[in-house]
Amino acid sequence: MRTLRYVAIGDSLSEGVGDLSWPDGTPRGWTDRLAELLAAHHGTLDYANLAIRGYRTVEVLQTQVQPALALDPDVVTLTAGMNDILRPRLDVAALRHRLVEIVAPFTAKGVRVAVVPIPDLRGVTPAGRMLQRRRLVLNELYRRLAQEHGMIPPTETSGTVFEDRRAWAEDRLHLSELGHTRLAVAAAELLGTPATIDWAGLPEGPAPRRTLRTEVTWARRYVGPWTWRRLRGRSTGDGRTAKHPDLVRLTAERWETAGRR
């Protein structure tokens, strides 16, 4: 039996933005954490991560699908669509078509594909109310991918830690260390690895309060720069490359070719 092969594709969530960094400065993220959990469960794992922050579905389709297929994976995780629904204009039919083109080539080969649904962000960020309708549309597209193209049905996030501000980084767009850790455990459970913690449960104590001061500070530090990049046609992914474009061998003890400890 060959070593299990896991490939992560998608955007900043799969790249690991918001989590702690490795010594070389790359973000760890839930996909690296998931790879470690799978390696511990199976004894060894081959892992690649092609995700790049800022990518929409069109960029994932154009730059990541074929390289991922070439790695002959057994498992693929996908985060794509959030950057699409953040844009002023959204063509739902085109988004659905691109998601099918991303997922179908993998499931047609028997690859297990898991996607991360978008949780209810109304309690996390003011933008959550504006995104509510669109995120429900996107999650429905994910469910249709599971029904029609054999993708693993997405996990329900209602009432879980992912609706708590502590699971999110200061920018309220990316997960925090807590969020990445919990997502890794949830994904591992979805893929058949026993959960090591209650990934859905809320941390002890009350969540931080949102006040006028916190909202103004957040808008100045994050909303303003994000809006300015959009107006200039720039993306945080411009000029970036994937952090693990080739398969890396993991064992339960260490990453053998990436210097991870």
Q: Report pLDDT digits (tens) over 160-185.
A: 999 999 999 888 789 999 999 999 99
Tell me, what CATH number does 226's domain have?
A: 3.40.50.1110
The CA–CA distances, whole Å, from 8 to 27, 77, 187, 197 equal 14, 5, 12, 22
* 7-11, 141-145, 169-173, 227-231: the lowest-pLDDT one: 227-231
Q: Is residue 261 part of a domain?
A: no
pLDDT of residue 214: 73
Mean pLDDT value across residues 5-13: 97
Instruction: Count how many domains the chain has.
Output: 1
Q: Is residue 256 part of a domain?
A: no
The CA–CA distances, whole Å, from 252 to 74, 181, 190, 246, 256 equal 19, 17, 20, 19, 10
Model-wide pTM > 0.95: no
| Residue 222 pLDDT exceeds 70 | no
pLDDT of residue 196: 84
Mean pLDDT value across residues 61-89: 96
Q: Is residue 145 part of a domain?
A: yes
Sheet containing strand 244-251, strands side by side: 112-115, 75-79, 5-10, 44-49, 244-251
> Whole-number mean pLDDT of the chain?
90
Q: Which domain holds residue 201?
A: 5-251
∠ at Cα 245 (32, 53), nearest 5°? 65
Determine what percent of the chain is predicted with pLDDT higher than 90. 71
